[in-house]
Amino acid sequence: MKRILLIITVLCIMATGCNQTGKKMNDAANPFLSEYTTPFQVPPFNDIKDEHYLPAFERGIAIHKEEIDKIINNPEEPDFENTIAALDRSGEQLRKVRYVFNCNTESNTNELLQEIAQKVAPLESSHYDDINLNPDLFKRVKTVYEKRDNLDLTTEEKTLLEKMYKDFVRGGAELDDTKQARLREINKRISVLSLQFGDNVLAENNAYKLFIENEADLAGLPEGVIAGAAEVSRAAGQEGKWLFTTHKPSMIPFLQYADKRELREKLHKAYCARGDNDNDHDNKKILVEMANLRLERAQLLGYETHAHYILEKRMAKKPENVYNLLNPIWEAALPVSKKEVQEMQSLISLEGNDFKLAAWDWWYYAEKLRKEKYDLDEEALRPYFELENVRNGLFQVCNNLFGISFEVRNDIPKYHEDAQVFEVKDADGSHLGVLYMDFHPRASKRGGAWMDKYRKQYMKDGENITPVITTVFNFSKPAGGKPALLSFEEVSTMFHEMGHALHGLFSDCTYESISGTDVPWDFVELPSSIMENWASEPEVLKLYGKHYETGETIPDELIQKIKKAGHFNQGFVNVEYLSAAFLDMNWHTLNKITSDIDVDQFETAALNRIGLIPEIVVRYRSTYFSHIFSGDYSAGYYSYKWSEVLDADAFEAFKETSLFDTKTAESFRDNILARGGTEDPMILYKRFRGREPSIDPLLKRSGLSRP
């Protein structure tokens, strides 16, 4: 018997040893679980495999729990350092994998990553609920918060303390056990639904294909658009045909130039029906459930609606202030859009047609009007907007303003072969951060353009941890033997996302949770929107506007046409956007849970109330409104317009001095770009501008008048 027990004991020890050895081996093989040895410690993308993510998440959660337990069980009296700062520092291992995973599921996803995301979302939701709803942890935070007036804290420390305390309260720390249990269920369910919504939109985008077999159906389309469609079709296994999709770089040129009205209608309707096809990728039930769950959560926490809950942390503060922003711009823009309809309807009649202008006609006849009124052909601009020239011109603008430089680094690993990577250096030559740029569409990338981070800037043990930033686009690909030639809208988009990147790169904060772009959503678009202003300035157009064949600088004649056409189609631009902002607010100012909402009827009623004209379709219909149902902009899509008010007013500061006034640029960097969320944004803005912003520069820039 003793011998048997001895054998069993030895076997158990051996098994334990094998398990521990296996665990160590797995850890050693998992790049997330060891120190990066890459330049600037960027993620080692060449070594990261899909199967590394889930174990890294699990280990990150386990380590974070240990860190939280250590804070809770600290025998010392709670103070800023051992509780608030310690909380900010905790979770570093978890953030390490989450930032990479989130970026890659957006820009380079696959079925396995989507499956992992479905597993990770409830895990993380549960984990953070465990933190936010931990009574012992909240007690320590509350103790520090209640004695804040007696503490010698910096402005950044005061902001972090207040944010952390309010996050606990808003996270349900003061709810009873029953309500906390329900809150956990809600948060977990929302996290899963949000992923499903985004996956469905991506699937719908990739599923629709308009193959054209008859060359006559390509009438009106520019040569470059035709060549690009032929290459995409060839890649899809359909040699000798032309393929158009609902991805905007494919769809918009088709709507602008294709003479075949019935094909424009077909493509436009397919775009507008995404997520609303009563198939496996239908989003109607998902978004209704999300809207109801968000409302239930808000009311659990004592708020009237989800919008009230969200806006408490924004510059707007409450829904009334959002409407106070949107309504006057809507009232100024809607009459302009109706005049634009009349102009296009007249053009239709002059052509001998008797049909009424429809939404799928807008881009086509707007383009004709642009040519007629301003002799400006968007396609005539593209040869001057070769992608690399635009990128280099943008880099030069950043250098002129802030003295920074961008150095190509071929020794830094990339997450996809299409990505470009640069080391960004400050004016004194010191390392500022790493920037990835990823320009073209692919099936693994969601639509649109965005900035994200693989690592944020913060201070650790007295050392500045520098940021690793990525900017992602869906620009027209090289086609027909030509390089990638951009539309002016795509040029503006590149400048826009660089503004976000600068916000992340220039961050000079101590605490990770309030550094970089971690600011209120109606403030985060200021750094990006203001950069768009430089894109259309004649001096800057000559920096990047070089003909891709001849090297000729864009002529003054074309620049003047661009400037004169600056107010063109602004009724449409504003009405299309604002209608989406109103729709967002309609979903999130619901104050009664209603599970049987008919999404199409709800949407139609919401848009009819504001008087949206039938010739314009809301920029994002509910079923593919990813900003609010799979992104962070719920009750916040208005933020772009709020930030436009700020950016138009802020750009006036440069116009009052000079376009590249270094003193003004330094003030913008120091007071806006470097400060992250360390202080109230209006205080930061007034410190830069000397006063609160005015709406008038935005109206002037858009060619609109106060109603």
Of 171, 236, 186, 178, the residue nearest 208 (C-alpha): 236
Indicate if 111 belongs to the active site.
Answer: no
What pLDDT does residue 369 have? 95
Q: For residue 79, give Cα distances in angstroms to 84, 88, 147, 329, 400.
A: 7, 13, 9, 47, 44
Q: What's the burial of 667, exposed, middle or buried (CB within 10 Å: 0-12/13-18/19+)?
A: middle
What are the pLDDT digits (tens) for 427-474? 999 999 999 999 999 999 998 999 999 999 999 999 999 999 999 999
Question: What is the rounded distance in angstroms from the CA atom of residue 615 to the CA atom of residue 428?
Answer: 53
What pLDDT does residue 14 have? 39
Q: For residue 325, give Cα distances in angstroms to 310, 313, 442.
A: 17, 17, 37
What are the pLDDT digits (tens) for 565-604? 989 999 999 999 999 999 999 999 999 999 899 999 999 9
pLDDT averaged over consecutive 10-residue blocks of the chain (707 residues)?
A: 37 40 60 97 97 97 98 98 98 98 96 96 96 97 97 98 97 97 97 96 96 98 94 95 95 97 98 98 98 98 98 96 96 97 98 97 97 90 97 98 98 97 98 98 92 98 97 91 94 98 98 97 95 97 97 96 92 98 98 95 98 98 97 94 96 96 98 98 97 93 84
Phi, psi of 506, deg, nearest 5: -85, -5
Question: What is the rounded distance in angstroms from the CA atom of residue 375 to the CA atom of residue 367?
Answer: 10
b or e along 559-579 (b: 16 or more beta carbons within 10 Å of the residue's beta carbon)?
Answer: bebbeebeebbbbbbbbbbbb
Of 635, 619, 627, 629, the residue nearest 584 (C-alpha): 635
What pLDDT does residue 16 have? 39
Q: Using DSSP bridges, classify how beta strands 458-460 and 450-455 pair: parallel, antiparallel or unpaired.
A: unpaired
What pLDDT does residue 489 have? 93
- For 328, the token pair is 């006057």
Q: Where are the alpha helices (DSSP H) in 258-361?
A: 261-272, 284-300, 306-311, 319-350
Question: What is the rounded distance in angstroms from the CA atom of residue 320 to the CA atom of residue 328?
Answer: 13
The percentage of residues in the chain with a pLDDT greater than 90, rounded to a whole number, is 92
What pLDDT does residue 141 have? 98
What pLDDT does residue 25 have? 41
What pLDDT does residue 370 have? 94
Question: What is the rounded distance in angstroms from the CA atom of residue 292 to the CA atom of residue 562?
Answer: 46
Question: What domains can be seen in the chain, in order of their start residue?
Answer: 42-174 (1.20.1050.40), 176-190+283-333+569-707 (1.10.1370.10), 208-272 (no CATH), 382-567 (1.10.1370.40)
Name the catalytic one among 367, 497, 603, 652: 497
Place of tokens 């659990």: 300
Q: Which distant-in-sequence residues (6+ apart) come within 8 Å of 292 by Cβ? A: 593, 594, 595
